[in-house]
């Protein structure tokens, strides 16, 4: 599950002046020429990993899934969408080095930063504020995320790429700078698991922190696990079995863009049933598809929206009639607005679309999370 550290209030100091839960510079690698220390991100508490028994550290499914899920789902699960790390440092300069497994750095409808880059936020006056992006130039990259900023100890949040495989990643701090694991979000604060399509995975945000699940993680101040699989969010039964192994605060099922009405009628109830039997009290949210912004001129797209929504609502009603508890529903009307300005390609949201999507999800999720 998601790994958390001790609260900073419980951290003491060693004789050398380093916090007990701070990262000892001896665990990093020295760069005498530039007077830096490089720290592997795995020394920190990396978030967004549902399983620790992965073949590679930044995979999103456990190693056993390779023999269970469809090959395309397995391939996509090796991409690091939703994985991030929070840390505290007093460094006034921050470098990053990261190595990518795929040579495709960008696509026609997505930026290189979103697909293969890094995205850095800083907590300022109690709020997460965007600070910098790491631009990828090739498979092995180095970038200065900030340089000579105001001195002071701050908490940072670094997101990994949405559509590339991360082989390794390090951050570089000036010698003498402290690096400490961030405080946990709160006692027993479990993650929200999002399962879905290319949109859930992050298409077409301009950078990793603008996916709706990432936005919600910052707003709700809790970890999230992104199980979005491009063109493959089909409610496969194998995914239900794997997801049932997790112990989240909530499951969000956002698969309609990849499913036909007959598939929805066939798969939703068994999928929910697997999760409900494993976790009788955990809330489950069924989300409708967004409205295609050009549907007013494409009757087939409008009809697809209507059929998929009717099928999901019917499945929801049957589940409720059967006594399925803690089941919730999010309509798709207005999910990304109705002005036609919120997508890149009449399907995938822009940052504006993701903000609107986050607003709609937050209205449902926040009241359900208040009790934790």
Whether residue 204 is preceded by a cis peptide bond, meaning omega within 30 degrees of 0, is yes
SS3 25: helix
Nearest alpha carbon to residue 353 among 364, 343, 365: 343
204: exposed, middle or buried (C-beta count within 10 Å: 0-12, 13-18, 19+)?
buried
User: For residues 120 and 157, is the Cβ–Cβ distance under 8 A?
Assistant: yes
Owner of token pair 């990828």: 136
> Which architecture characterizes domain 192-369 according to CATH?
3-Layer(aba) Sandwich (3.40)
Output the pLDDT for position 261: 98
Residues in the chain: 372
Output the pLDDT for position 371: 65
How many CB atoms lie under 10 A from the CB of residue 190?
Answer: 20
Q: Rounded to the nearest 10 degrees, how much is the dihedral formed by the CA atoms of 71, 114, 210, 360? A: -40
- Alpha-carbon distance 203 to 343, whole Å? 10
| Dihedral class, residue 260 (left if φ above 0, else alpha if ψ from -120 to 50, else beta) | beta
What is each CA distance from 119 to 112, 148, 196, in whole angstroms? 12, 18, 22
24: exposed, middle or buried (C-beta count within 10 Å: 0-12, 13-18, 19+)?
middle
- Alpha-carbon distance 169 to 255, whole Å? 31
Q: What are the extents of the domains in the chain?
A: 8-181, 192-369
SS3 301: helix
In CATH terms, are 8-181 and 192-369 the same topology?
Answer: no
Owner of token pair 């073949």: 55
Please give the structure tokens belonging to residue 213: 């699940």
Work out whether strand 140-146 and strand 127-134 pair parallel, antiparallel, or are unpaired.
Answer: unpaired
Which helix (H) or strand (E) segment is 325 a member of? none
- CATH 3.30.70.980 for domain 8-181, yes or no, is no
User: For residues 99 and 161, is the Cβ–Cβ distance under 8 A?
Assistant: no
Average pLDDT per 10 consecutive residues for the chain, totaling 372 residues: 34 35 93 98 98 98 98 98 98 98 97 98 97 98 97 98 98 97 87 98 98 98 98 98 98 98 98 98 98 95 96 98 98 96 97 98 95 61
Q: Could you tell me the pTM of the whole model?
A: 0.94
- Alpha-carbon distance 349 to 336, whole Å? 8
Q: What angle do CA 310, 313, 317 make, to 5 degrees?
A: 135
Work out whether strand 36-40 and strand 29-31 pair parallel, antiparallel, or are unpaired.
Answer: antiparallel
Q: Rounded to the nearest 10 degrees, how much is the dihedral formed by the CA atoms of 229, 230, 231, 232? A: -20
Output the pLDDT for position 11: 33
- Alpha-carbon distance 276 to 283, whole Å? 9
Strands (E), the chain: 29-31, 36-40, 46-47, 84-89, 94-100, 118-124, 127-134, 140-146, 154-159, 166-174, 179-181, 192-196, 224-228, 250-254, 284-287, 327-330
Output the pLDDT for position 370: 82
Output the pLDDT for position 3: 35
Instruction: Supply the Cα-derived Rg of the chain in whole angstroms.
Output: 21
14: exposed, middle or buried (C-beta count within 10 Å: 0-12, 13-18, 19+)?
exposed
User: For residues 134 and 116, is the Cβ–Cβ distance under 8 A?
Assistant: no
């Amino acid at each position: 599950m998601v790994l958390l550290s001790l609260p900073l209030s419980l951290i003491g100091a060693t004789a050398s002046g380093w916090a007990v839960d701070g990262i000892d510079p001896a665990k990093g690698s020295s760069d005498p020429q530039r007077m830096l220390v490089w720290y592997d991100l795995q020394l920190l508490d990396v978030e967004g990993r549902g399983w620790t028994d992965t073949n590679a550290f930044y995979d999103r499914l456990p190693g056993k899934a390779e023999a269970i899920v469809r090959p395309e789902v397995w391939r996509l699960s090796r991409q690091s969408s939703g994985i991030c790390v929070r840390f505290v440092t007093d460094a006034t300069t921050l470098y990053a080095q990261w190595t990518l497994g795929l040579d495709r750095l960008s696509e026609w409808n997505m930026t290189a930063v979103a697909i293969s880059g890094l995205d850095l936020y800083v907590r300022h006056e109690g709020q997460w504020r965007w600070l910098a992006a790491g631009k990828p130039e090739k498979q092995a990259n180095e970038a200065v995320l900030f340089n000579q900023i105001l001195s002071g100890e701050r908490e940072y949040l670094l997101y990994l790429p949405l559509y590339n495989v991360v082989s390794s990643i390090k951050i570089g701090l000036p010698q003498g700078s402290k690096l400490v694991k961030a405080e946990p979000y709160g006692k027993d604060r479990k993650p929200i698991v999002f399962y879905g399509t290319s949109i859930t995975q992050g298409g077409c945000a301009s950078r990793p922190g603008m996916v709706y699940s990432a936005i919600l993680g910052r707003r709700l101040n809790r970890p999230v696990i992104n199980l979005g699989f491009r063109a493959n969010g089909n409610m496969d039964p194998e995914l239900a079995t794997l997801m049932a192994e997790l112990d989240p605060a909530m499951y969000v099922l956002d698969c309609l863009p990849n499913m036909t009405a007959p598939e929805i009628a066939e798969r939703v109830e068994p999928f929910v049933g697997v999760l409900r039997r494993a976790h009788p009290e955990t809330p489950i949210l069924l989300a409708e598809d967004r409205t295609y912004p050009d549907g007013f001129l494409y009757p087939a797209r409008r009809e697809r929206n209507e059929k998929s929504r009717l099928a999901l609502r019917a499945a929801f009603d049957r589940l409720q009639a059967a006594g399925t508890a803690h089941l919730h529903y999010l309509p798709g009307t207005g999910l990304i607005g109705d002005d036609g300005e919120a997508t890149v390609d009449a399907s995938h949201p822009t940052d504006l679309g993701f903000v609107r999507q986050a607003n709609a999800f937050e209205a449902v999720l926040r009241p359900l999370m208040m009790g934790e």
